[in-house]
Amino acid sequence: MITSQILHTTLKENFGFEKFRSNQEEIINTILNGNDTLAIMPTGGGKSICFQLPALLFPGITIVISPLIALMKDQVDSLKANGIAACFINSTQTETEQQQHIENLKNNKVKLVYIAPESLSYLDNAFSVLTISLIAIDEAHCISSWGHDFRPAYTNLGYLKNRFPSTPILALTATADKATRQDISNQLNLRKPTVFISSFDRKNLSLEVRPALDRVKQIIDFIESKPNDSGIIYCLSRKTTEDLAEKLSKIGINAKAYHAGLDSELRSKTQDEFINDQCQVICATIAFGMGIDKSNVRWVIHYNLPKNIEGYYQEIGRAGRDGLASETILFESYGDLIQLQKFASQGQNAEIQLAKLERMKQYTDALSCRRKILLSYFSEIVTENCGNCDICKNPPAFFDGTIIAQKALSAIIRLQESEPLAVIVDFLRGSKNAYIYEKEYQNLKTYGVGIETSWHDWNQYLIQLINLGYCEIAFHQQNKIKLTPLARKVLFENEKVQLNTVQKANTSKTETKET
């Protein structure tokens, strides 16, 4: 029986930490009890301890599957520095080196082995003679082609559960909305996993969305106003990263481009310079950042609209890991939206990608606290406005929208949570279109109760209700609108809902700045 006392002693003696962070101890206990576990924790939240510590307490080996070959060495070195026997196996090693590590595993000389998913087959022959106590799958969202960072090799990992049915699997990730979580769990064949979701709230990050007009000038002004602060500018294309880095360099800002098309030597040089404060600004594609441990990134700018909220939240999360105030700015442009829509519609899972993009767009158009929107996207319900986003700082006018909310949420119930947004609006407005009649929706209660409100306004109100967390879009169920538990409060407990007055399309947000 492993007591909390033992866990704390192990934490202190092997890792030098006094206490566990949120969810770490609970996750470790679940694994030690042999259960499959899905741990969702923000970047910097302390995921590594969740498998490194149990690895020390288990009799056998812990396999850590990680996509980040470049970081394996650092992780293993730091474990060794703490006196923990660890090794890594990947394609950068010679066959002799790999064989040596496998021998060490067979002889129980190693507790933890880091391995890239592509390299797992190296262990195939050894599997039958190894005692494997835990399989940890880091960056588990790479398994899902619905999210970003999809790694085809991850999709093969499902066989691990079949091969080692009694070995607990711990899947870890910093980015997973509901759909992705489900996908991870399904694809890895997890057995009734216990799911831990840490709070994703990063209060020290300010949130701001700006129109993209003259964005280069805006960026230059911003950087020049804080010459000692370093930051990342995310761009959609490789070419933009290079063009922007060049423009900034020309006027004396120490900026470099980073993208997957550059040769790996240059990439790691740029990365090192940034980490060591020798380069102030990185203009990068989303290839930059996964696993980069730099605590004093003071700002993150999105030059282009991100593809989805998961990616956006992970990218801004690279700022302020030291907990100090940090700024994030997203530039929204209609042109970007059109281009991303085109990409999404041509790619895999087009429907889901488009819906996620739409959600991103709704975030930029939002009239309520942006942090609430982000957190509700990750199913985290917060009631207070954050005070640290542009909307909280310059709130638009709002009114008592309780009746509107009640009508909309009742309509969603009447339609059995099985219709997308547009049908709900048609239903509320008493539309006589063919689909409504085909489904005989005109006979249901609440049909047409919202006839006095325009289609555009209903659409906006529903988006606000989604952003406020009262309902949500089920991306992999034809974008049906579902209620969240919060909706009950409005429908049955008289909760008041504040809605924002709907703005006319194309009204620039900056015009409402006056207070």
41 is in the binding site of which of ligand ADP, Zn ion, none (Cβ under 5 to 8 A by kind)? ligand ADP
The answer to whether 340 touches 307, Cβ cutoff 8 Å, is yes
Stretch that binds ligand ADP, among 16-24, 335-343, 456-464, 465-473 (CB under 6 A): 16-24
Closer to Zn ion by Cβ: residue 263 or 384: 384
Shortest distance, CB of residue 24 to ligand ADP, whole angstroms?
A: 6
Q: Residue count at the site for Zn ion (CB under 5 A)?
A: 6
Closest CA to 373 of 221, 515, 209: 209
Q: Where are the alpha helices (DSSP H) in 154-290?
A: 159-163, 178-187, 215-224, 238-250, 264-275
Q: 386 touches which of ligand ADP, Zn ion, none (CB within 5 to 8 A by kind)?
A: Zn ion
Instruction: Name which of Zn ion, ligand ADP, none residue 44 binds, using a CB cut-off of 5 to 8 Å depending on partner kind.
Output: ligand ADP
Only segment of 44-52, 180-188, 214-222, 350-358 that touches ligand ADP (CB under 6 A): 44-52
Task: Find the binding residues for Zn ion in span 386-445 (CB under 5 A).
Answer: 386, 389, 392
User: Which amino acid, residue 10?
Assistant: T
197 binds ligand ADP (CB under 6 A): no
Signed CA dihedral, 369, 370, 371, 376: sign only: positive
Pick the stretch among 19-27, 248-256, 409-417, 432-440 that binds ligand ADP (CB under 6 A).
19-27
154-161 contacts: CB < 8 A, separation 24 or more?
A: 154/67, 154/117, 154/187, 155/187, 156/117, 156/120, 157/65, 157/117, 157/120, 157/187, 157/188, 158/187, 158/188, 158/189, 160/135, 160/188, 160/189, 161/36, 161/188, 161/189, 161/190, 161/191
Contact 271, 278 (CB under 8 A): no
Residue 366 binds Zn ion (CB under 5 A): no
* Least spacing, CB of residue 108 vs Zn ion, in Å: 53
Residue 376 touches which of ligand ADP, Zn ion, none (Cβ within 5-8 Å per kind): none
Report the distance separating Cα 363 and Cα 367, nearest Å: 9
- How many other β-carbons are positioned within 10 Å of the β-carbon of residue 128? 7
Cβ 125 to Zn ion shortest distance, Å: 55
Q: How far is the CB of 296 from ligand ADP (least distance, A)?
A: 13
Q: Which is nearer to Zn ion, 211 or 395 (CB)?
A: 395
Q: Which does 369 bind (CB under 5 to 8 A by kind): ligand ADP, Zn ion, none?
A: Zn ion
Torsion over CA of 100, 106, 109 and 115, rounded to 10 degrees?
70
Residue 352 binds which of ligand ADP, Zn ion, none (CB < 5-8 A, kind-dependent): none
- Map tokens 């942006």 to a residue: 370
Contacts (Cβ under 8 Å, ≥6 apart) of 16: 82
Q: Compute how many residues bind ligand ADP; rule: CB under 6 A.
A: 12
Supply the minimum distance, in Å, between the C-beta of residue 15 and ligand ADP: 7
Answer for which of 38, 49, 340, 412 binds ligand ADP (CB under 6 A) is 49
- In angstroms, rounded to a whole number, what is the distance separating the alpha carbons of residues 257 and 284? 6
Stretch that binds ligand ADP, among 45-53, 155-163, 239-247, 325-333 (CB under 6 A): 45-53
Burial class (CB in 10 A: 0-12, 13-18, 19+), 403: exposed
In angstroms, give the least distance from the CB of 17 to ligand ADP: 4
Please select the residue that binds ligand ADP; options are 8, 46, 269, 393, rule is CB under 6 A: 46
For residue 203, the minimal CB distance to Zn ion (Å) is 10
Give the distance from CA 494 to its chain's centroid. 33
Determine if 8 is a binding residue for ligand ADP (CB under 6 A).
no
Answer yes or no whether residue 45 interacts with ligand ADP by CB under 6 A.
Answer: yes
297 forms part of the interface with ligand ADP (CB under 6 A): no
Which residue, 41 or 366, is less far from ligand ADP as judged by CB?
A: 41
Residue with tokens 């060794």: 80
> Any contact of residue 70 with ligand ADP (CB under 6 A)?
no
Strand 86-89 and strand 112-115: the pairing is parallel
CB half-sphere exposure, 324, CA atoms < 13 A = 8
- Using CA atoms, how far apart are residues 472 and 119, in angstroms rounded to an integer? 39
Show the beta-strand stretches assigned E in 346-390. Answer: none
SS3 430: coil
Q: Which of 38, 41, 55, 136 binds ligand ADP (CB under 6 A)?
A: 41
Q: Which does residue 389 bind out of ligand ADP, Zn ion, none, counting CB within 5 to 8 angstroms by kind? A: Zn ion
Residue closer to ligand ADP, measured from CB, 65 or 223: 65
Which residue type occupies 340? L
Return the one option of ligand ADP, Zn ion, none that residue 45 interacts with (CB less than 5 to 8 A, by type): ligand ADP
Residue among 48, 82, 104, 155 that touches ligand ADP (CB under 6 A): 48
3-state secondary structure of 95: helix
**Cα–Cα distance, 471 to 371 (Å, whole number):** 16
Where in 371-430 is the site for ligand ADP (CB under 6 A)?
none
Stretch that binds Zn ion, among 60-68, 163-171, 334-342, 384-392 (CB under 5 A): 384-392
Residues at the site binding ligand ADP, with contacts judged by CB under 6 A: 17, 20-21, 24, 41, 43-49
Site for Zn ion, rule CB under 5 A: 369, 371, 385-386, 389, 392
